[in-house]
């Protein structure tokens, strides 16, 4: 088990992590979500020993990570870490050697990953000559080449075209199928929903939701209502008791109802504002779950 346990971190007065904890089982893929600046990169950097936590620790197989264990982790930093002038093949082999593979094995593993990630034609080119997406593939090859026991990837999908996304997704699923716990951060929630066994949502320094997407959905079941009203007045539902407008677009509105809300009152309000063409409970998408989880509670909710 890969365990992030009670991580606290402040930068001066800025409390970034306030007891962050989650676990990732071997073979499972964990999507680490949160708004910009929520603290995902900080959490991953703590795991990799690049930043020291004020409190808490990260464990793999019941032992706190040390520099020895970290060599067995494949890590893709957000700031990326390639040598621009080095050739693709040499670069990947270099990372393999850094993680302990001997010369010939490193070269063989490099060839294999360069091929698998669709970079064979660019093997002899300097990294700086590659497009952003291809540089990303090299970075991924660098993370995978040493056959890591654990993968920690900071926004590995950002900047990739759909083909790049598919080949990266396939490579990660393959790692997970081989028993590697995979943690990756992403703002592409559709992708997280498609790939991950479990997700964690970080907000204001805490994990505000963790579980499988289905578990999170069940927790929210019966709370999201989609109402479509032709020619609705803007913000028609904003003042209703216990109702939060999740999204509103040209009369197509998704509302989150708290226990205090009355769905019949919502229907009556919808009928007052226009012709109701759709009124039904709906399964939240991960985007809606995310919006609900990171929303700052209202004063009413805090007092309740
Ligand atoms: N070395 C540092 N010194 C001071 N503040 C820092 C440092 N590193 C991060 N922070 C602050 O910590 C907070 C969390 O940043 P972090 O990069 O971990 O967020 P993130 O969730 O990865 O965001 P994003 O999705 O935008 O990449 C931010 O307010 C950031 O300004």
Judge if 278 and 179 occupy the same domain. Answer: no
Judge if 177 and 59 occupy the same domain. Answer: yes
* Run means of pLDDT, 10 residues per run, the chain, 304 residues: 96 95 95 92 96 96 93 86 90 90 89 90 93 87 90 91 86 93 94 93 90 82 87 92 91 90 95 95 83 68 52
Read off the tokens for 79.
Answer: 């700031």
Q: Is 9 in the pocket of ligand 1 (CB under 6 A)?
A: no
Q: Which atom of ligand 1 is nearest to the CA of 45?
A: 18
The domain of 263 spans 222-282
Q: Ligand 1 atom 8: the closest Cα is on which residue?
A: 42
Number of domains in the chain: 2
> What pLDDT shows up at residue 221?
66
Separation CA 242–CA 264 (nearest Å): 13
Report CA(54)–ligand 1 centroid distance (Å). Answer: 15
CA-to-CA separations, 41 to 46, 154, 284, in angstroms, rounded: 9, 7, 27
Q: How many CA atoms lie within 13 A of 146 on its CB side?
A: 26
Ligand 1 pocket test, candidate residues 34, 38, 154, 204, most atoms within 8 A of CB: 38
Judge if 161 and 231 occupy the same domain. Answer: no
ipTM for this prediction: 0.96
Q: Is 37 in the pocket of ligand 1 (CB under 6 A)?
A: yes
pTM: 0.82
Which helix or strand (DSSP H or E) is residue 89 part of? helix 88-98
Tell me which of 212, 244, 262 is where a domain ends: 212
How many other CB atoms are found less than 10 A from the CB of residue 66? 10
Judge if 19 and 99 occupy the same domain. Answer: yes
Q: Ligand 1 atom 25: the closest Cα is on which residue?
A: 36
Q: Ligand 1 atom 4: the closest Cα is on which residue?
A: 11
Judge if 52 and 113 occupy the same domain. Answer: yes
Judge if 130 and 268 occupy the same domain. Answer: no
Tell me which of 153, 183, 212 is where a domain ends: 212
Q: Ligand 1 atom 3: the closest Cα is on which residue?
A: 11
Report CA(172)–ligand 1 centroid distance (Å). Answer: 25
**290 found inside a domain:** no
> What pLDDT shows up at residue 236?
94
Tell me which of 187, 212, 237 is where a domain ends: 212
Q: Is 42 in the pocket of ligand 1 (CB under 6 A)?
A: yes
**DSSP assignment, residue 214?**
H
């Amino acid at each position: 088990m890969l365990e992030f346990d009670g991580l606290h971190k402040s930068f001066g007065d800025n409390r970034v992590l306030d007891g962050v904890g989650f676990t990732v089982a071997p073979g499972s893929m964990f999507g680490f979500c949160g708004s910009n600046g929520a603290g995902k990169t900080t959490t991953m950097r703590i795991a990799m020993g690049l930043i020291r936590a004020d409190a808490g620790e990260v464990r793999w197989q019941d032992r706190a990570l040390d520099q020895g264990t970290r060599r067995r982790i494949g890590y893709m930093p957000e700031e990326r870490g390639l040598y621009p002038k080095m050739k693709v093949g040499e670069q990947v082999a270099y990372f393999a050697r850094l993680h302990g593979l001997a010369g010939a094995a490193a070269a063989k593993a490099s060839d294999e990953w360069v091929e698998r990630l669709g970079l064979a034609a660019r093997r002899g080119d300097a990294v700086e000559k590659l497009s952003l997406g291809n540089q990303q593939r090299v970075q991924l090859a660098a993370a995978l080449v040493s056959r890591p026991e654990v993968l920690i990837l900071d926004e590995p999908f950002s900047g990739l075209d759909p083909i790049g996304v598919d080949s990266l997704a396939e490579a990660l699923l393959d790692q997970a199928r081989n028993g590697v716990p995979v943690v990756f951060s992403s703002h592409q929630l559709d992708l997280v929903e498609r790939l991950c066994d479990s997700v964690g949502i970080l907000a204001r320094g805490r994990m505000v939701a963790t579980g499988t997407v289905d578990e999170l959905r069940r927790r929210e079941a019966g709370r999201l209502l989609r109402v479509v009203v032709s020619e609705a007045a803007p913000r028609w539902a904003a003042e209703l008791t216990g109702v939060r407008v999740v999204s509103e677009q040209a009369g197509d509105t998704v509302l989150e109802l708290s226990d205090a809300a009355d769905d019949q009152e919502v229907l009556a309000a919808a009928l007052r504002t226009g012709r109701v063409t759709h009124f039904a409970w709906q399964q939240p998408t991960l985007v809606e779950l995310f919006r609900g989880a990171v929303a700052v509670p209202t004063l009413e909710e805090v007092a309740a």
